[in-house]
Amino acid sequence: MPSGDDQPESRRLTDSPWFWATLFSVTALAGIGLIAPKFDRRQRQIEGRFLGRQQAAIERARRAEGLPPVDLAAEAREREAVAPRRIVPLWTLGTAAAAAAIASGIMLARERRLAAKDGVSR
């Protein structure tokens, strides 16, 4: 019977935390790729409402200061002209997931290479 201090002769790939980090970050990348079009449409709506509320707040402040009112409908502009890029872009999450996938993949390969060098199959 082996003692508790002995390491097992072999470890499965799924025993490595780097494997799971790689798997989850690649899954996150796939999920981001799948939701990107729907996210963009939804984010455009949310940001359009935000910009509208922002303009309304500015107009309320103008009226509170006694300045002449501005017709918001006449001053309205196309959303894409005001904010052509998203305020909250999805590429930041994609970049973070890609960096995590690359880093954990490198660490997994390094761990496997060192285990093979030591004669232990991981």
Q: Express as a percent the part of the chain with pLDDT over 90.
A: 39
Does the pTM of the predicted model rise above 0.75? no
* pLDDT, position 54: 87
* pLDDT, position 1: 45
* 24, 89 Cβ separation under 8 angstroms: no
Task: Please tell me which residue, 62 or 98, carries the higher pLDDT value.
Answer: 98
Decide if 90 is inside a domain: yes
* pLDDT, position 122: 47
Number of domains the chain is built from:
1
Decide if 119 is inside a domain: no
Can you say whether the dihedral through the CA atoms of 108, 113, 118, 122 is positive or negative? positive
Range of the domain at 38: 18-110
Q: Which whole number is the average pLDDT over 97-116?
A: 94
pLDDT for 28 beyond 90: yes
Decide if 12 is inside a domain: no
Q: Give residue-wise pLDDT tens across range 40-93.
A: 889 888 988 888 898 889 888 888 888 887 777 766 666 556 556 778 889 999
The SS3 assignment for 121 reads: strand
